[in-house]
């Protein structure tokens, strides 16, 4: 019996969201939606819901590092997705562990929650710029994050591209500059790489259900990259996934808060694909639904 070649392994390094809408919980659910395998190194425990963050406790940096080692040394990893880190010590520990990894690194530079609550300590910002940013293959900042990482004021789509170019000069392979904060009718994101700038636009949904959109987008990219997609394709699929997850949001949480997305989107399989899976002993059960 031959063992299948492992693929689709995503190591998520991020904080826990007790309400399940963002952070580690959103990351795991997103990876599962695409069929990727999730591992985690938890950096912080947050007490939060759709109304905001009430309390945060960061884990010891050595414990974060040990979680990463445990996953990498045994299961291995194809893509590392980094979210909330919080402290300088954790950032430095993560940088040391991922520096030599043969894996694609996706960095979502989480500094502020959707509710506006700060998730990154002041002295950690410089550490993220100098220690972690140069190790990233893809960084996914929103407008405020893009401004403090690049030092460029972002007021329009052209500025997104300029800020992305500035991040490439800092050693990043590619930057997905998210334009959701801009005052535009459609949502415009720009994927900036050495190959140029790919400007992508989509309809803007006017809704309160936006909790965890950044986490979800970065994890969707990570999952699809781990499963073998090109970067451009992974970004396009991830954007479509987030749009549908917002559009079909379950409506949970206070009307004064930011509700979670629908991470349970099922990928539809064609009848032809179903027929090719005759080796699946559970395939016949589909017809009984």
pLDDT at 5: 55
CA distance 219 to 178: 14
* Contact in structure between 239 and 49 (CB atoms under 8 Å): no
Alpha-carbon torsion angle 37, 43, 49, 55, nearest 10: 170
Structure-block tokens of residue 89:
């010590």
> Secondary structure of 225-280 in the HEC alphabet?
HHCCCCHHHHHHHHHHHHHHHHHCCCCCCCCCCCCECCCCCCCCCCHHHHHCCCCC
Q: What is the pTM of this model?
A: 0.88
* Contact in structure between 106 and 80 (CB atoms under 8 Å): yes
Residue numbers annotated as active site: 178, 210, 212-215
How many C-beta atoms lie closer than 10 Å to residue 282's C-beta? Answer: 7
pLDDT at 6: 63
* Contact in structure between 175 and 224 (CB atoms under 8 Å): no
Which H or E run contains 157?
helix 157-169
Burial category of 31 from C-beta neighbours within 10 Å (exposed 0-12, middle 13-18, buried 19 and up): buried
Low-confidence ranges of the chain (pLDDT < 70): 1-6, 112-119, 266-289
Burial category of 237 from C-beta neighbours within 10 Å (exposed 0-12, middle 13-18, buried 19 and up): middle
pLDDT at 121: 72
In sign, the C-alpha dihedral spanning 204, 207, 208, 210 is negative
CA distance 161 to 174: 11
pLDDT at 241: 96
Q: Please name which of 107, 165, 167, 151 lies closest in space to residue 132, comparing C-alpha atoms.
A: 107
pLDDT at 181: 87
């Amino acid at each position: 019996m031959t063992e299948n070649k492992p693929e689709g392994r995503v190591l998520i390094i991020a904080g826990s969201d007790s309400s399940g809408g963002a952070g580690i919980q959103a990351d795991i659910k997103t990876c599962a939606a695409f069929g990727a395998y999730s591992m985690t190194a938890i950096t912080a425990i947050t007490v939060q819901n759709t109304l905001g963050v009430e309390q945060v406790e960061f884990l010891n940096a050595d414990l974060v590092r040990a979680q990463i080692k445990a996953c990498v040394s045994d299961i291995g990893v194809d893509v590392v997705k980094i979210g909330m880190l919080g402290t300088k010590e954790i950032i430095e520990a993560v940088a040391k562990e991922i520096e030599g990894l043969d894996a694609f690194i996706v960095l979502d530079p989480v500094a502020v929650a959707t509710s506006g609550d700060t998730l990154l300590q002041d002295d950690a910002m410089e550490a993220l710029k100098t220690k972690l940013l140069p190790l990233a293959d893809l960084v996914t900042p929103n407008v405020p994050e893009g401004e403090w990482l690049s030092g460029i004021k972002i007021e329009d789509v052209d500025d997104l591209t300029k800020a992305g170019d500035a991040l490439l000069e800092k050693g990043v392979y590619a930057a997905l500059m998210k334009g959701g904060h801009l005052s535009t009718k459609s949502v415009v994101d720009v994927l900036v790489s050495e190959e140029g700038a790919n400007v992508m636009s989509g309809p803007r949904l006017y809704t309160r259900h936006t909790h965890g959109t950044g986490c979800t987008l970065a994890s969707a990219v990570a999952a699809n990259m781990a499963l073998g997609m090109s970067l451009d394709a992974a970004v396009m699929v991830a954007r479509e996934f987030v749009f549908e997850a917002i559009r079909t949001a379950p409506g949970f949480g206070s009307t004064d808060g930011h509700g979670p997305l629908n991470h349970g989107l099922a990928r539809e399989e064609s009848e032809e694909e179903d027929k090719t899976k005759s080796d699946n002993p559970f395939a016949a059960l589909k017809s009984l639904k």
